[in-house]
Amino acid sequence: MSVYYATPASPARYVVAESPVWDAQNSRLLWVDVEVGNVFVGRLSDGMVETSAHYEIGDKIGAVVPGDDGTLLVAAQDRLVVIATDGSRRDGPSILSGTASRSNDGACDPAGRFLIGTYHFDERENQDTLQRLEYDGTLSLIDTDLSISNGLAWSIDGTLMYSTDSAKGIIWVRDYDVSTGEVGKRRPHVKIASGYPDGIALDSRGNLWIAIWGKAEVQSFSPAGEPGSIVRLPAPHVSSVTFVGENLDLLLITTAYRDLDTQGLEHYPDAGRLFLADVGVTGHPTTPWNSSALK
């Protein structure tokens, strides 16, 4: 087992940095601060991420993805929002209505459909959802019984979908038909015994890299679900991962300083920063959102 160490890559610290995604068309990184409600755009430069733009949404944010036309699709607290290339915005469909929940992590499938999960903040259990934005702009339900729907990824050939069920500590896998959108029955792929699995990313070998909240680690697993490499960070709450750069040869890791008390913040002064690690593999490219869904 190989062990790697991540280094800070942002001067700023975020309450909950999340949903990092590399926009290959525009050579830029996108991410959000969930609690503050900001979307960030950045560039890689000399081992650091330099922020080039940000957008204040005004609500908590679950995720952002790049559109194939240069737009950004944002999962705000209870709705989707499209940010045009000139910075103007328009609302898309509602994700939630009348529930004590917000949007959570999301990603695009290999055909450019956007999937988005939810996060409850009341006492309900097993009622978080996973939804998909279809080509006609409607939302369809995939799961309705999750406990914090989180990271998403697809196998290299697109026939399998991985999804994180954080509170249960499970990464699910299921058959996925990219052409029709048909989704198979889910089954356990990886069980995390310590900490909580959060965001995930796939590398070019089909290995899954999983951010472990509360563990100060990213852990990798083979396509068969066997443990692989570990990345260690000087920040306990590791929220998500993505491969970045022109060659997708660096692992970008987001962290949070939420839930740390004064002593915890003193012990982990880099908590909430972005991090980079060279883990000896390249990433599998992600697909931009098919923007025709909300034209």
Say if residue 97's pLDDT is above 90.
no
The answer to whether 6 and 219 are in contact (CB under 8 A) is no
End-to-end CA distance of the chain: 47
Residue 124 has pLDDT above 90, yes or no: no
Comparing CA positions, the residue from 90, 98, 181 lying closest to residue 133 is 181
- CA-CA distance, 62 to 126, in Å (whole number)? 19
Within 10 A of 56 (CB to CB), how many other CB atoms are there?
9
Average confidence (pLDDT) over 232-261: 98
What pLDDT does 282 receive? 98
pLDDT at site 100: 85
pLDDT above 80 for 123: no
Domain ranges of the chain: 3-294
At 132, the amino acid letter reads R
Active site residues: 198
Share of residues in the chain with pLDDT > 70 (%): 100
Overall fold of domain 3-294? Neuraminidase (2.120.10)
Q: Is the pLDDT of residue 98 over 90?
A: no
Specify the 3-state DSSP secondary structure of 76: strand
Asked if 84 contacts 94 with a C-beta cutoff of 8 angstroms, the reply is no
pLDDT tens digits along 165-206: 999 999 999 999 999 999 999 999 999 999 999 999 999 999
